[in-house]
Structure 1
Amino acid sequence: MRLQLLLVAALTAVCFETSVAHAQISDDVVKIGVLNDQSGLYADLGGPGTVVAARMAVEDAGGSVLGKPVEIVFADHQNKSDVGAAIARQWFEVGKVDMAIGFDNSAVALAAEQLAAEHNRIAIAGAVGSTAFTGKSCTPTEASWIYDSYALTTSLAKSIVAQGLDTWFFITVDYTFGHSLEADATSAVQAAGGKVLGSVRHPLNTADFSSYLLQAQASGAKVVALANGGGDMVNAIKQANEFGLAKNQTMVTLLVFISDVHSMQLQAAQGLKFVTGFYWDRDDETRAWSKRFFERQGKMPTMPQASAYSAIRHYLAAIASAGTDEAKAVMAKMRETPVNDFYVRNGHLREDGRLVHDMYLAQVKTPSESTKPWDYYKILATIPGDQAFRPLAEGGCPLVAQH
């Protein structure tokens, strides 16, 4: 009997030690870094609001995971890939950051995901349009939580061309994000039987769109498509209205955030059609969370801000399930577990890092259709996730090609 008791005690001790060994949090803290534009043309769509959403996610998760505290840090990459890369490197090598999130700039995101992979850390993209992030540049430790240029353009272009608006001209921001938007929209327009008559590229954060708008006007295209975002898109729309482009040509925006509509106001933005991943007034759950966010931020959330909350909650749940914050183990749990929250219904994370979920074809309301503050969108159609996003086999992700 004594021998049996000793054996039981020994086995219990081994099991306890094994459990403790598996429940490992590096540096006794889970540190999440929000890396985005905190002060420039993309600050309204992400910026400080994403930090607020991240803190809400941590608070709602109890402030800790596996008995260790969760901390949020943030930094401004100023929309410069070298600045963003330097911050990410410092975070991963010195700052004990386990996961970086946001970016809201394709060039920064592509640099950060490679650094994360090198240091066995996780990178989760918010407003990142480049399909390369989950395509040719994919890594085992990245995820893209909202959209890419394929999802933003394909369904929209098909819908617009089907209305007989079959000749297009692009005004494109001249960096990775804009190039990707234009390329995917061009493919969709041509696949639908339309033609692209030309394009022109503008610098990021330009103030004067007059020469680009004149070229678009001179092209005679039925559609002038803006392959840009944030402050650039807002300025282009305002100046297009001043030029009177909308009288003879249809303006199409390939990326719209509710912060843009709020800035332009409904009189200028009314009628714009676009694809979005989130709208605060979609249902009871989105309204409940968005009102909590509004109490802190004084604005309704954009899709990058809502997605940051969703991604962080899913990340922390995966750590709890894996019993460790080791990146590959956490990513495995994130892929195994469906994403179900106010932001996403039945979302799933593919092996290329793409979160597959429904997207929405939307239109900006007219002033007379809006009945309350921030009542800006009409949801015209739901685009199922398997139709909204590029098929896994077509993305060129080397992790997929190995199978």
Structure 2
Amino acid sequence: MPLQIFHPKFDRRTLIKGAAALGAFQMASPFIIQARGETPIRIGMVDPLTGVYAAPAGNEVMGAKLAVEQMNAKGGILGRQVELLVEDSANDVGTGVQKARKLIERDQVNFMIGDVNSGIAAAIAQVTAEKKILHIVSGGHTDSITGKDCKWNVFRVCNTTRMEANSVSSVLFSKYGKKWHFITPDYAFGHTLYDACTDDLKKLGGTVTGNELTPLGTTDFSAYLIKARSANPDVLILLVQGSDMINCLKQVVQFGLDKQIHVAGTQQELESLAALPPEARIGIWMFEWYWKQPGVPGVDKFVADIRKVNNGNVPTARHWFGYTSAMTFALVANQAKTTDAIKLAGALENFELPDDVKLQPNKVYYRKGDHQLMTSAFVGEAQSKGKDDPEDLFRVDEVVPGDKTAPAVSETGCTIQWPA
């Protein structure tokens, strides 16, 4: 299919009906933000724009598009304008790898972003390391990406699953109880998140009553919920995401399970809460970024900028992931005055994000040793409806720095091997 070209200014006609609320969208694959000028810098992005993660993936792309528009308005990267080339991984590892190779080998991208799906992100990392392309994993959480399978060229913006679990486990244990039952997506992300949660639970003195492994794209959770209810836990921990989270929480409420068992989890997303009926917006969770942060520099402007291109809706953590991933390339390349991947990877170690990109109160930096962004966890409780703003669906009780939730580099299993 021939490339479709889009200019840096957002064109609403390019947005096709999305998979959920808050501006999620599907697009013909591939598509480009076209920049003026010769020999532009090219950022490739692979994300699942169709399927169970279409909503968060679409919002990551929207955030990256905003970053490209802003960096071009300020002179681009090293005086060259920037293009964003996006491909749909379709939530399939083979497709994701094929699209990454196409972007690198045919389209000659300088940098790579992606994927929401942890398994795809890990597979793409193999390709980018082989091709010596600087790669930022925007939204794939499984620990191994910046753990035992870490690579010199790969950095990650979103939290690890261990960071997610560490941010909220003690709160869930103290407020809800010590017997936990899990509903877990059956792939890399779910497995490592479950391991992190159960490790924390054991340290706290709790027990696991069971773990229901569910395929991605599950629509009927009734069998899993019946098993969970019969196990009689204190807490039902939902680790599913995307449309699976929406379907699961709806059915939890339909079955009245929330009246018998506390329902909560680790990572929650505004895309999911917004798509739920008010009665299903329940539980204690962690957000990886939240849009309502009074007095924090830069947040109000970012919210206003996203509203302009998102049908008036506020940004989600996924918008911030995409925005930060793309903006990181411009920040480090303009500082180091090079596009050489090895030099930039070295420059990114312990690189601290400025206020207008980090958009949160704590220090945010790419940690030397494992290349994980030390970003905060926003811990709190879902709200059935917003009080001052209808989109304020989460009450933030605590913002925990990444340095407190992340294990030490020595505990991650990461050993960076640099090219000769």
TM-score by length of 2: 0.85
Match of 1:65 in 2: 77
State how many pairs are aligned. 372
SS at match of 2:330: helix
1:172 to 172, 179, 184: 184
Matches within 5 A, 1:238-317: 238-270=250-282, 272-284=283-295, 285-298=298-311, 299-317=313-331
Matches within 5 A, 1:4-403: 28-47=39-58, 49-61=59-71, 62=74, 64-163=76-175, 165-270=177-282, 272-284=283-295, 285-298=298-311, 299-342=313-356, 343-344=359-360, 345-351=362-368, 352-367=370-385, 370-399=387-416
Assess if the C-alpha contact under 8 Å between 1:152 and 1:274 holds in 2.
no
Larger radius of gyration: 1
Assess if the C-alpha contact under 8 Å between 2:165 and 2:193 holds in 1.
yes
Shift of 1:287: 2.6
CA distance in 2, matches of 1:95, 1:63: 22
Deviations 1:255-283 (Å, cap 9, x if unpaired)?
2111111000432113x211122111113
Structure 2: stretches of 5+ with no match in the other structure: 1-37
Deviations 1:149-176 (Å, cap 9, x if unpaired)?
1111123111111235100111111111
Assess if the C-alpha contact under 8 Å between 1:359 and 1:382 holds in 2.
yes
Assess if the C-alpha contact under 8 Å between 1:170 and 1:199 holds in 2.
yes
Shift of 1:110: 0.2
Shift of 1:59: 2.0
Shift of 1:400: 8.5
Deviations 1:165-212 (Å, cap 9, x if unpaired)?
100111111111111111111111111111111111111011110111
Shift of 1:102: 3.0
TM-score by length of 1: 0.88
Assess if the C-alpha contact under 8 Å between 2:62 and 2:322 holds in 1.
no
CA distance in 2, matches of 1:118, 1:280: 37
CA distance in 2, matches of 1:400, 1:114: 13
Match of 1:15 in 2: none
Shift of 1:291: 1.8
Deviations 1:198-256 (Å, cap 9, x if unpaired)?
11111101111011111111111111111111110110000111111111111112221
CA distance in 2, matches of 1:169, 1:381: 25
Deviations 1:340-374 (Å, cap 9, x if unpaired)?
2343442111131101122221211243x622221
CA distance in 1, matches of 2:277, 2:343: 46
SS at match of 2:205: coil
Letter in 2 for 1:293: I
Q: Which moved more, 1:78-87 or 1:326-335?
A: 326-335
SS at match of 1:246: helix
SS at match of 2:139: coil
Assess if the C-alpha contact under 8 Å between 1:279 and 1:286 holds in 2.
no
Q: Which moved more, 1:166-175 or 1:97-106?
A: 97-106
Assess if the C-alpha contact under 8 Å between 2:141 and 2:158 holds in 1.
no
Letter in 1 for 2:115: F
Q: Write out the 4+ residue segments of structure 1 that deviate beyond 3 Å after TM superposition.
A: none
Assess if the C-alpha contact under 8 Å between 2:167 and 2:377 holds in 1.
no
User: What is the alpha-carbon root mean square deviation over aligned residues?
Assistant: 1.8
Assess if the C-alpha contact under 8 Å between 1:172 and 1:228 holds in 2.
yes
